[in-house]
Chains A and B, each alone.
Chain A
């Protein structure tokens, strides 16, 4: 459902992403791991169509900048980007209208309720705490019911209840056949549901593993991460 083919992203002389290849199928949760500055966020932004790159990215068979791909793609940024003067409910309405969604209100209510924001629907974006902003940002990403979901450090700033709820939701999406890419540093938080992992260093994917492969080989995700990133350092 998501195919990244030979993607390179340069900022001047700095190569942020160097010939990246990865693919994620239906019902797959793939991790993007790596130390700070490895190029994870850049790759996620390239996939989301926010940055220019060389190479090819396809979302459900369509070029990632096409309208069809945009319809199928959900992106939850690392830093929530909300509108100061819109309420929580208006953010949901804005997304619903912008994506021309039908019968969205029940889904919006459910998302807001699951993240315990239902009593704050009339609160403005600028009045929300960092954690609440992150929750709303996740709700906005989920509302169009995208087939491919990109998470950039989704757990940062969330309280334990919200982390638990997000994990449940990711599990649900996985079962519903969505393709999910999660960039994170918090290895503990994703151990339950990942299917594949990509470890990045200096703009390159230096290791790829499937969960089954690792389990067969008796490898541990955390150990693998430290071994690879330490050796590369």
Chain B
């Protein structure tokens, strides 16, 4: 045990010491701390807790919490059915697993370490102190309870994933059983919402609110228990808190026993998951595009083996289409398309107005920024082939960008189709917003090229995430100003659907200039597989 305590303490110490040499990280941590302290101070000064609590609809928060719970249960069980989850790193596998230390103690070490990481990752909840205080009148007790239950959900789901992996690994029948339970879990929720809609004659959102607030829902594993816990804290019901904690602890003990049972050898089971996690982290560090690959097993049949088309630079575009086909059955329609379409449909349904449609547009463009600059063009720039192939730089750049330019066009059909259908926004406005979305995509592809030209490599993720917003605003500023002026002073009310047209045109011109200015990029910049 001494070795494990030493390991944990030394890792913490070295982590803290390493921060000293990284001023950027110090600033980042200081910023996070400042935001949290600021949130607390704002909450205190605004006195939001004096709101009339009888008018507060706590069910909205239950709905959010349930959403996270269901998402985590589904994601972690699904990962348990394929690769499993892990508490360990490759260093643990190589050094700890072979050391003469009890596997149970090593498991405790893994659990504690994961819990620490999960708590740190969940700290974002504290950013919401002012909002939670203002909207629901929550005090520190409720916010800490929310933080704790979020951490518990994540920990349990992670353990559940390991448990599912151990239970079902290599056994198709058991996998089917787990899958059936998972589908039943989700099915019960869908059927319940449907029944409530029928019975109460309410909309889907209200039905969901009624469902998560019901007593029966509180007994739904993991998600329901979390709601029971949080409700218990809000209502001051000690019994609810106790029952929910009891259920979580029982499930936790069951899963841990599965890991440490005398027949189970969790080393072998977590080894594969640890290797997969390590590879993912490596891919992340090496900036390989995780979204362009998939974890599911792909079997390439004889007739599918080949690019079949393209000669010269254009082969990059055909290669990207083939890769997209392998990642998603519907080529450019992937999980991002689905996620954004559902998100936009919900947003459109809940906040029907023309102005809100612009907020939706801004949000999807912001999400698109990250997906484009982490996209396939970036991957090509980090492999030697694009530099070696005997074609002109401009042709290779354009060919390697085509798929990144096409994807937003396909996505926009679904996203803005949903906005028109569910959100009630006019078809014409949706068409022009879709155009704006596609042209923003062109700007982002242009930015990838500019980054490579100016910085000599692709900026790291932290830089992209933190500066991304400001760079985006800067690049979009002329387009936004043109659109606002055009919309305010030139077009009549009946033609307002054209508001985003100047934005699209200016963006298209910007993208063209970016490409043109960097047309010799591959002759003038250096290959670098690092960022």
Contact = CB atoms under 8 A, between A and B. Distances in A.
Contacts of B525: 52
Interface residues of A, number: 35
A52 B312 contact: no
Interface in A1-34: none
Given A49-B388, A97-B310, A100-B312, A85 B293 contact: yes
The B contact surface, by secondary structure, is loop
Contacts of B302: 122
A67 B300 contact: no
A113 B372 CA distance: 38
Contacts of A226: none
A98 B312 contact: yes
Nearest to A121: B305
Contact of B384 (A50, A67, A90, A121): A50
B327 A67 contact: no
B312 A84 contact: no
B300 A94 contact: no
Interface in B266-304: 288, 292-294, 298-302
B313 A98 contact: yes
B140 interface: no
B75 interface: no
Interface string A63-96: 0010110110101010101011111011001110
A98 B323 contact: no
A52 B300 contact: no
Contacts of A68: 390
Nearest to B399: A98
A73 B307 contact: no
A98 B305 contact: no
B313 A90 contact: no
B392 A97 contact: no
Interface size range on B against A: 35 or more
Nearest to B309: A97
Nearest to A84: B293
A48 B523 contact: no
Contacts of B327: 85
A70 B322 CA distance: 26
A124 B293 CA distance: 11
A100 B312 CA distance: 6
Given A81-B529, A84-B292, A84-B293, A124 B523 contact: no
| Most interface-central of A90, A100, A122 (chain B CB within 10 A) | A90
A83 B316 CA distance: 12
Interface string B18-43: 00000000000000000000000000
Interface string B366-405: 0000000000000000011101111110000000000000
Given A87-B300, A100-B311, A70 B527 contact: no
B315 to A, nearest CB: 4
A86 B292 CA distance: 12
B206 interface: no
B526 interface: yes
B311 A89 contact: no
Contacts of A45: 527
Contacts of B313: 98
B306 A85 contact: no
B312 to A, nearest CB: 6
Given A71-B390, A90-B305, A126-B293, A97 B311 contact: yes
Contacts of A73: 388
A50 B292 contact: no
B461 interface: no
A9 to B, nearest CB: 10
A206 interface: no
A97 B315 contact: yes
Q: Which 6 A-B pairs have the closest CB atoms?
A: A50-B527, A70-B390, A85-B323, A97-B315, A122-B300, A85-B326
Given A67-B391, A68-B390, 10 more contacts: A49-B388, A50-B384, A52-B525, A65-B523, A75-B384, A79-B529, A85-B293, A90-B306, A94-B385, A100-B312
9 contacts: A52-B525, A67-B392, A85-B298, A85-B327, A87-B305, A97-B307, A98-B385, A122-B301, A122-B302
